[in-house]
Structure 1
Amino acid sequence: MSIFVLCFLLIFSTSLFVSGQNQSAYEVLQKNNLPGGILPHGVVKYDLNKKTGFFKVYFNSTCSFPIDSYKVKYQSTISGYLRTGRVRQLQGVSVKVLFFWVHISEVYRDGDDIDLSVGVASEEFSVRNFENSPRCGCGFDCYRAVSSF
């Protein structure tokens, strides 16, 4: 009887996780009122626990690119807790401020703006800036270079 219970719990717990089978990671963000462009191109797969909101996003390697006067870096695996309009306890994303790399701990939507928080400080960007996903190396400037031809 205990083997039956163990098998049931194993099947039930794995059904809470979605591994990108039906929707892309970008679509999951959009479904949660966040622009898909907060993730760079190149998501290999993702895991999402529907019950807790805990997610992991996997890339082939680290990815860095400029956004305005900042440089942003994504580790090969990032994680956090996804809620409607918000990502909390974000791990694996950092921004270079002056000479120091600072961990981005939260991303949240405030109307037509996206706030990137590093704890006590945050920077606000228009949601329109995240309509497209940035590309490793050139960020959002890749689109400007292509559209100028």
Structure 2
Amino acid sequence: MGLHLTTISIALFLLIQSSLATLFPLNITDDTPSAYEVLQGYNFPVGLLPKGVVKYNLDESTGQFHAYLDGSCSFSLEGSYQLKYKSKISGYISNNRLKDLSGVSVKILFLWLNIVEVTRDGDELEFSVGIASASFPIENFYECPQCGCGLDCVNGKVSKLRIKASFSSI
């Protein structure tokens, strides 16, 4: 009787295991696009986010998003720009527009100002801090900056940021 029960138990175990293997294969592929691919899907370059986004969520019906870094991030770019990213960046995304941003700030003179909106107009990106905005060529954002060293981490130099002299008050 004990041998018969053991044989049934083993058969049942193998049946359950093969069923689970069918439902949950070992080689699970994640077809979820990265945060950088999502940016590109809305016509933005990947370099708006630094390297190291560990996860994100996006409500496609409203455009509300949250991107998460492993920690806060800061770096400098030539031209006296210092950028800071909090570990959580949020806002609303639509084609050619990021609005109601939080978690990204830029140092202008002696003040840290929150970047609240980014819009794309052709080959230009306009960054708004609410009271003023500045435009930059999109080519500055084809590469993701790295926390601590920006775009030139190999040589330890601060990279050059091409600036289009287009500052305006809102």
Instruction: Note whether the superposition's TM-score is higher than 0.5.
Output: yes
Other-structure match for 2:93 = 82
Other-structure match for 1:105 = 116
Distance in 1 (CA, whole Å) between partners of 2:31 and 2:58 is 11
Other-structure match for 2:36 = 26
After superposition, the C-alpha distances for 1:72-130 in whole angstroms (9 at most, x for unaligned) are: 00000010000001100000100011111001000111110111110121111111010
> Scaled by the length of structure 2, what TM-score is found?
0.71
The structure in which a higher percent of residues are strand is: 1
Structure 1 stretch 132-141 or stretch 42-51: which is displaced more? 132-141
| CA positional deviation for 1:140 | 1.7
Distance in 2 (CA, whole Å) between partners of 1:122 and 1:140 is 23
Distance in 1 (CA, whole Å) between partners of 2:110 and 2:54 is 31
> Scaled by the length of structure 1, what TM-score is found?
0.80
Distance in 2 (CA, whole Å) between partners of 1:121 and 1:76 is 25
Match of 1:64 among 68, 74, 78: 74
Task: Establish whether residue 119 from structure 1 lines up as the match of residue 134 from structure 2.
Answer: no
Match of 2:53 among 43, 50, 60: 43
Change (3 A) 1:113 1:123: same
Is the CA contact 2:75–2:146 (under 8 Å) kept in the aligned structure 1? yes
After superposition, the C-alpha distances for 1:18-70 in whole angstroms (9 at most, x for unaligned) are: xx951000000001000011000000000000000000000010000112321
Other-structure match for 1:14 = none
Distance in 1 (CA, whole Å) between partners of 2:85 and 2:114 is 10
Q: Report how many residues are paired.
A: 127
Distance in 2 (CA, whole Å) between partners of 1:22 and 1:75 is 24
Change (3 A) 1:114 1:144: farther
Change (3 A) 1:113 1:144: farther
Is the CA contact 2:149–2:156 (under 8 Å) kept in the aligned structure 1? no
Distance in 2 (CA, whole Å) between partners of 1:110 and 1:117 is 13
- Quote the RMSD (CA, aligned, Å): 1.7
Q: Secondary structure at the match of 1:142?
A: coil
Is the CA contact 2:84–2:104 (under 8 Å) kept in the aligned structure 1? yes
Other-structure match for 2:106 = 95
Please say which structure displays the higher CA radius of gyration. 2
Overall identity of the aligned pairs, in %: 52
Other-structure match for 2:14 = none
